[in-house]
Amino acid sequence: MLSSFGDALRTAALPLLAVSLTGEPLLVAAVTACGYLPWIAFGLLGGAVADRVDQRRAMWTVDVARGLLVAGFAVAVALGHASIALLIALAFTLTTLQTLFDNASTALLPALVDSDVLGSANARLMTGQRVAGGLLGAPAVPLLMAAGAAVPYVADAATFLLAAALVATLRTSPPERAPRPAGSTLRHEIADGLRTLWHDLALRRLCAATALCNIGMGALIATLVLLVTGWLHAGTAGYAAAATAYTVGNLAGGAVGGRLVARAGRMRVVLLAGTVQIGALVVMGSVRSLAALVAAMAVFGFMGMVWNVNTTTLMQQRSPAGMLGRVAAAFRTLAVAGAPLGALLGGAVATAWGLNTPALLAAAFFVLSVTALIPERKRDIPVVAPRDGSTTGHATR
C-alpha cells in the first residue's frame, strides 16, 4: 500500500508535468500510452518468471529498482532537465518492472489466504491500495508540487524503498511447484499460459471484455487532465477533486461489492458494473460541470472496483495450480494491449473534435465490452474450467 501511495503521487503528477512541458494532446497522451506498452512487450515473460521464482523476493527486488529509478528522475526534474522524452522513458521502464511485480503479487495472494475468502482478500487489498493511493496520495499532489516539481517523485521513491523493506520481512513458505519437464523453456511455459486462458471460455470472454474497456480507459486517462483543466477550466484543484472522487467510489465499491456478488453472482455483477460505467462516461463527456464530473467519477470508481475485484478473483479461482502467474500475465497482457491504442485515440479525437470527446469514445468501447459478456450472464460458473481436467465446485457468489 505504501508503493500505491507513491504510485498515486507519480500518476497524478506526471500528466501535470507533461501539460507544463507541452500543450499538444497527442504528446500528453503518449506519456500514458508508453506506460502501457511494456505489458505488450514483456507481460507474458513477467508471468512466466513469476511462476519460476520466489514471488516475495521478486516483489521487493523490483521495488528497490523502481525506487532508485524514480529517485534519479526526481534529481533530473529538480535540475530542470525534465522533458516529454524523459517522461515517456520513465513510464515505459517503470511499467516494464511492474509486469513482474504485479504477476508475482497476484500469484502470491492465493498462497496466503484460503480460497473461500479470496474474493474478500482481493477486495480488502485493492481497497487498501486505493486508500493509500487515491484518498491520500492524489489530493496531496498539488501541495507537494507547490513545494517543488520534484517533491512528488522524491516521495514516490521513498515509498518504493520502504515498501521493499516491508515485503522483504514477509514470512511465507517457499512456493510449492511441480518439477518442470526436462527441456522446458520460458517460451513453452508462456504458451501453456496462453492455451489455458484460451481454452477457458469464461475467462476468454472476460479478457476480451476487459481489453475493450481498457481501450476506453486509455483514452479517458490519457486526456482526463485536459478534460478537467481545458474543457472545464477547473485547474489542478479540479483534477485533484476528480481523482479523489474516483478513489472514494473505489472505497465504497470495495466495501459493499461482496454483497452484490452474494445476490447476483460474480459474472452478473461484472456486467452490472460495466453497464453503469457507460452512463458515468456519457455524463463526463456531455455535461460541462465540475460537480457532474466529480459525481460521475465517484460512480465510475465504485463500479471500477467491483469490476476489478471480481475479474481478478475469477482468474485466480479458475487458474490451475502452478500456472497462475502465466495465466494472469496472459490475461493482463491481452487486456492491457488496447490501452496504448486507446490513449493515442483519445489524444487524436481530443485534437480533432474537442477535449470532452475521449470520454464519449470510452463509453462506446464499454458498450462493446458489456455486449461481449452478455453470453456469460449466468449466476454460477465452475471455479476450474472443465477442460483443465478438474473441477472444484462453484465460485463464491
Cell of 252: 465504497
DSSP state of 379: S
Residues 90-111: what's their mean pLDDT?
Answer: 81
> Domains of the chain (ranges plus CATH)?
2-170+186-384 (1.20.1250.20)
The predicted structure's pLDDT at residue 177:
55
Separation of CA 92 from chain center: 15
Higher-pLDDT residue of 315, 118: 315
How far the first Cα of the chain sits from its last, in Å, is: 27
Instruction: Give the pLDDT confidence of 232-287 residue by residue, as tens digits.
Output: 988 888 888 888 888 889 888 888 877 888 787 888 889 999 999 999 999 999 99
What average pLDDT does this structure show over 38-48?
80
CB-CB contact of 316 with 182 (8 Å): no
H-state helical runs in 51-176: 55-78, 84-112, 118-130, 138-147, 151-168
| Half-sphere exposure in the Cβ direction for 175 (13 Å, CA) | 24
Q: Residue 314: how many CB atoms within 10 A of its CB? A: 22
Dihedral over alpha carbons 161, 95, 328, 176 (to 10 degrees): -40
Task: Share the mean pLDDT of the chain.
Answer: 80
Of 351, 46, 96, 131, the closest CA to residue 219 belongs to: 351
DSSP string covering 294-347, please?
HHHHHHHHHHHHHHHHHHHHHHHHHSPTT-HHHHHHHHHHHHHTHHHHHHHHHH
How distant is the alpha carbon of residue 317 from its chain centre?
19
Residues with Cβ within 8 Å of residue 221, at least 6 apart in sequence: 32, 343
Is this structure's pTM higher than 0.75? no
pLDDT at 3: 62
The proportion of the chain whose per-residue pLDDT surpasses 90, expressed as a percent, equals: 21
According to the model, what pLDDT value does residue 271 have?
92
**Helices and strands of the chain, counted as H and E runs:** 15, 0
Within 10 angstroms of residue 331's Cβ, the number of other Cβ atoms is 29
Quick one: pLDDT at residue 2? Answer: 61
